[in-house]
């Protein structure tokens, strides 16, 4: 998982970011030692599974039946996630189609040793049908 080289977002404050106010907080979780690889970083697949859960919250309110993830259009790991980070998953509806719903999920880490300071660690676009 490498750092993102894209331009700073409007929420950026010297490596730390503000949490979004225009998206809904749908999940908070703390990764544990069993979730990390040999380098001490949390497995990307673990983060992906939680993004999948977070991405289903808003579509579940609109669905009148079962929904399942059918596509992941984008998944960007911006920074590593570490054991003890408090992860906040924010979601927003980006498209409602006839048979599917697409959401954007952004993940922010409140670092264990720097509480009150956040870093955007992951973002994804997920479609459910």
pLDDT digits (tens, 9 = 90+) for 51-83: 999 999 999 999 988 899 999 999 999 999 999
Phi, psi of 42 (to 5 degrees): -70, 140
Contact 126, 25 (CB under 8 A): no
pLDDT for 2: 40
Please give the CATH architecture assigned to the domain spanning 20-128: Roll (3.10)
pLDDT for 3: 43
pLDDT for 14: 43
What's the whole-model pTM score?
0.86
Phi, psi of 110 (to 5 degrees): -95, 110
Nearby residues of 79 by Cβ (< 8 Å), 6 or more positions away: 1, 3, 4, 109, 119, 120, 121
3-state secondary structure of 55: helix
3-state secondary structure of 85: coil
Tens-place pLDDT, residues 96-126:
999 999 999 999 999 988 889 999 999 999 9
Domain map (residue ranges) of the chain = 20-128
């Amino acid at each position: 998982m490498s750092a993102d080289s894209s331009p700073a977002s409007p929420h950026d404050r010297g490596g730390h970011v503000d949490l979004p106010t225009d998206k809904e907080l749908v999940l908070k979780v703390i990764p544990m030692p069993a979730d990390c690889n040999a380098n001490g970083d949390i497995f990307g697949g673990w983060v992906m599974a939680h993004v999948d859960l977070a991405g289903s919250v808003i579509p579940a309110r609109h669905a009148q039946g079962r929904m399942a993830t059918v596509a992941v259009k984008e998944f960007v790991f911006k920074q590593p996630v570490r054991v003890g980070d408090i992860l906040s998953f924010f979601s927003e509806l980006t498209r409602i189609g006839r048979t599917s719903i697409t959401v954007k999920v952004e993940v922010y880490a409140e670092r264990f040793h720097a509480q009150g300071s956040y870093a955007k660690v992951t973002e994804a676009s997920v479609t459910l049908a």
